[in-house]
Structure 1
Amino acid sequence: MHALSTKYNVLYNGQVAYDQAKLQLDDKYADNFWELLPIEPLKIEEDDKAILINPSSPPKDNNGDTESTATGFERAEEKAVKAIQKHGMDIKGKERNRQIDDAYLLLGKSRYYSQRFVPALEAFNFVLENYTENDLKDQTRVWQAKTLVRLQNEELAIETLQYLLKNLNLPLELVEDGHTTMAMAYQALDSTDLVIKHLDSAVLFSVDPKQKSRNLFILGQVYRNEQKIDSSNLYFEKLMNFNKAPLRYQVHAQIDRAKNYTKEDSTALFLARFKKLIKNRDNRPFLDELYYHKGLIESQNDSIKIGLEDFEKSLRAVNGIEYQKELTYEAIGNIYFDKAKFELAGAYYDSIIGITKNKNEKRIRRLVRKRESLEEVITYEALANTNDSILKIAALPKAAQEAFYQGYIDSIKKVDELAKIKLENALESTTGFGNLSDDSSKSSSKGGKFYFYNNNVAGFGKQEFKRSWGNRALEDNWRISAKKAISDNTKKTDLLVVEDNFDTSKKYELDYYISRIPTKKSDLDSITYLRNDAYYNLGIIYKEQFKEYPLAAERLEKLLTFNPVEKLILPINYHLYKIYANFDETKSNKYKNVVVSNYPESRYAKIILNPEKILAYDDANSPEAIYNDIYCNYDFQHYVEAYQKTEKAIERFKDEPIIPKLELLKAHILMKTIGAEAFKEALSFVALSYPNTEEGKRAVEILENFDSDSANSGQ
């Protein structure tokens, strides 16, 4: 009677609660397919280590809220305890109720999924110690080994499973579970070969389609991490052809097979597969990933335009994953970066930094550094374009200026009129506030009757606002257009930002535009100076930081056409000589001759005529050691010896990163030995030759302070 009541009443209800909670736990588990999947889909929270030993501590989900599944496992545990306490029949040291061993197993499994592993292990050990003749002994050994892995006792788990798997009469289900748990243990020990061996065995004896699909996917990932791409492809293709696999595994098998794509693969086949997957309505939850990987294949095959379209579709996918958005923004940014459209690239990198939740991730830190390196080039490009436009308009006769601005005013009037018509047409289809009791109107993508519930009407309103006011921050006094975020990395970049104090209420008045054109010589000279400085810095940045030699040459050659100040002409020609040496020897020789012929006594000419013979050096003769030795001479006021060593070091280590430091030190030596004029000349050389180094920026600061002090003393 006790056995019957235990099996069909208490334990039955406990097993139902356990099964429901387990199903809910599996459904709620969100796999990160961008990383190696865990063999068992169970998230162990680092913050919840107390759960391992404290039976009363409930597990938490990713958001820190108590999991609803915990209730099911708690109920299963309660039923198991009730079965043991009320229906246990321990008579003379022997349990007479044949269902109590099942109750202890259910107790241990419930505690395991509640992440209370020590109490779970106690339950499994009790079964193995007291019910040695029962038919659940082998199943309990697998659960005992699983718990030992979670408690980081992998060696004992492996020993237990090796003993178990020697039994050739084990049911296939236990063989699969045993090999899968062995793979978990060896994964914790970083034994990749043994992980592969046991996952292969688990797949061979598989009974559970879900676990088989997971094991196949992990095998594909592991082989890829081991750079065994052919084996990785084999397992992903096996999973693609496994009809019983859950949809998420089948789709991600296609995606991860595409991650292994090379030019040797059939591009047409891959694109056909992805088009078919995208058309399948069942795959809507994966559209962001599918479009992204299709875009990658297109862009790798020089179909950049199609690739960009796919990336945009990926970003627009409904319920897209934030991490996938980051990858898509990065892919678009990289395309524009490779095309040297650095401002656009920077905008997409900004989007990633704005949405990422893990700013300490290595990929994000690298991206932030890359974005920071673009800051100067974006600033200088904007300044060069703006000041170029101002100077061109300022150089036109008044009639031409009026014609230019009248044409601009006419064009914006047309655009504004079209926007107004679209807005009126959209409003005509509405009746003001609509039926406020109809909540469905608020969420309809086609728009409700209230203005801001209608996406089309609201969209027109946003466009009209932007056209009139531009992009404004959500803050007080937003109408003040001069408010603008300014990068304050250096004094130099601060000077480049010009406040936009355009009065939008006068955007149709021709006289207003004409009045804004600078006419004073001092204003035009200032604009010209900033424009020329921007072109020079762009040339150096493209040359040294991005190795974009054609772009660097174009900026510097254009600067020469502006008749820059004399002090810029020599370094411009020298840098053009170095730039063209990478891809056009004829032009390189042309600029070399200019430097050598017109400026034979300059340091640039000496560098060209006496190319360094790079010598091998040990630690004692390294650039840093030589620099430290020279600095010691300087510090002890042995200026002549320091100067001689500096000259030799500069000749020896030309084009090494240490050169800017040596040149700046040499400037200070000249200050002590010759005087202020030599000091200023040497500083100018450092500032113009190495403007993007710390030494170059330091030289600019010294020169600015030097001139300021001179002016003050003169007064």
Structure 2
Amino acid sequence: MNKRHVLVWLILILSVGCSSERNTFTNRAFHNLTSHFNAYYLTDYKIREVENQVRANYKEDYTQVLPIFIPIDSATVTQNKSRLDSARELASKAIDWHRISKWVDDSYFLIGKIDYIQSQRDDAKNAFKYVNSTSKDKDLRHRALISLLRLYIDEKNYEDANFTIDYLSKETEINDENRYDLFKTLAYYYESRTDANGVIGALDRAIEYADDNKELSRLNFILAQYYQRAGLDALAYDFYRKSLDGNPPYERSFFAMLFAQQVAELNASKDLRKVRNYYDDLYKDPKNKDLKDVVVYEKALFELKQGDIPLTLDLLHQAAKEPGSSPRLKGYIYEKLAEISLDEFKDYRATKYYLDSALTFIKPESPDAEELSARKEVLDQYVFHVERIELNDSLIRLASLSDSERLAWANAYIASEEERLLKLAAAENQPKSSSIFDNLLAFSGRDGGSSFYFDNGNAVQQGTLDFVRTWGNRPLQDNWRRRSAIFQTSGQSTGNVTGGEGLENPENSVLADLPSAESLLETIPNTPEKLQVANQQLEESYFELGKLLFFDLKETSQSIESLENLIFLYPETVKKPEAYYLLYLGQKENSGNFSQYIGRLNREFPDSPYTFFVNNPDAASGNMAYLESSKNYELAYNAYYSGQYSEARSFILSTLEEYPLTRNTERLLLLDIMVTGKLEAKERFKSRLEAYIQNTEEDQLVTLAKKMLQPLLTEEELVALTPEEPIETDSLANAEENISENQKPEIPVDSPYKVNETQTHIFVIALSPTEAEAAKNLLGDLENFHASNFTNARLRTGNMTMNAQTSIYIISPFANAEKALEYYQKFMEEFKSNGISEDLKNQAFFISIENFQTLNKSKNLEEYRAFFRSMYK
């Protein structure tokens, strides 16, 4: 009976405990126990499994500074979708089924982690914010805020990240686990902003709280890398040695020992033989068979420091051929080859091809890829024009020869190619295919002077060439197989090698790519039309190469040579005025005879804008931007009047983006408004015209805009418009003939500030300590001002000390200069606050983020105010 009573009571307790509505001690205990050790535990376990797999699949690149956080690989996440979905379901059950449990907020946090891993950032953000705002567990709130901080850094949302860091810095009683995560996330913040000193400071604090030896080893290695790059070899050595603790992977141990020797013994050693022997020992060690390319690469960098460029190049080429476990290293090897080719030899063609190779190994999403691609774009153009000049110049010369001379040239070219291929074949040691040529190539390593045929590599190669030329590329097979196969052997013609049908891999033959004399002769332009095309291409390439050399590669002498060739070979070229101008600039830079081009421009092209600029050199500031924007304006104008409105807008927007402030800016803006009139609603057209009239200073353009606006206005609005002067033309083109040549205000001379109207801006009020004391209510008044006038702008206010004499109050963010200007005008008209006089308001300004960084370094407010008054007031 007692057993039955106990069983009944247990059933009653469990049935009452299963209710998620009754908030009793028994219910809470049951739901806490169940949600923790069932739903929460399993969810957390599945998430950790995915995180561990992400770490396991990530290939560390020890030749570069390791990232603070291992990037989340989308492929791994996709592979684990079912596991994450299961984790999400369990966490949701913990919330739905155990609502009175104390693990509900923890489950929301885990859902946020799942969203973060699956790149659902908005959902993750909402989950972390919810946990922070509702949880009573301060440790959990701290975890949520730290996770939110990492998400902000991922998005490069530094403003919200700064607010979060500021909030966490004021929090007390952060436990050790959260402090570790916080300092590691701070290191990630500084890493994202390329602040090496900040990374070092944050990691130094993080390792104080690290309790995972493997993670501690990795952080010590990262710290060592940063110290090494900062030139603090002693500290780097200590941290490399510390990174060997914690049973790290062999590859990390290898690099730790290698780099520790570099910063300690190798760099300080004067015994070069000892250093080289060290690398040789590493190379011979069988444990390093997958790291041979690393050893040779590091040895190449050592020899580069010694100034031995030929040996460095040999080692880099060797490293590129060595087997290795990291394709990215091959990319760095080719990048270093490109760097040496450029810096030491100015060999732009070799640099371009090395960069091509580097980018085949470096992933597009890599930070290096974008920079390398940008460098390569210029070199691509250089190589394209150089090679086109070489080719077309040769073809045009050949076109002037007689038929017999051309045939003799073709045969000589083919003979030289045969000789070149023979030398290449002789240098080969390993077979690359099953063709007879490549099978016989295996003998090529033997003594070239031996009397026995098959011991004489050169004789074997020559015999193979003769055989292929006569019989084709026959495979090795028995007579009965040859008789059943269909061969069409080639005849022995001068320099013409062809394989027959049915040959096995004829393209693998060393002679397969040799052209015939006929195909070579066909490439020569033998008609007036073909000659004209070749000359047009040659003319274009001489000009474009000259520009490229002058502006992008800074090779003024080579630029002059290319442009002078253009003028000499094509005296009637339409590019002549611009070529004269570039030659004027080049000779002036080289202290040459630039005045001759001033004379030529005045004699031959008196009305050219280039003539204006050489006659008025002081007016030529920013002239190239003006000239380029003028060309694009003409293209946009022609597209508009031919009805191609979308194309016209494309020209306008790209020009405004590339050349934001020129004398063409107002014209381009008005033309864009005209496109709006064709493509968008009438109200939009009207509002843009009204804004343009208010903000534009050039009278002729304002008058033209008013005439466009008139048909859109009511009678009352027409009276208010009151045109200042009659409009004498309907055409924008004719109106432009009378446009004033006065430029918009120029940037003050020697100003360190740049105009970037599309960048995020902030508004700044600068006060002295006395003025700040008098303006105690400034922040509150600003918030009230924003609530009344900028309700939806989400503006934030804050203050900071710039120096002992100046405190600044910051309002942010403004998406661009236009938005900041709207705020500035409203502020000047309506803002009132005790202690803020009109003089202080007049000292306020707005500034782009980039310029603010410059200002924060110089602390020179008056210098920026001069820039601000010139550009915006």
TM value normalised by structure 1: 0.50
Q: Higher RCO, 1 or 2 (CA under 8 Å, sep at least 6)?
A: 1
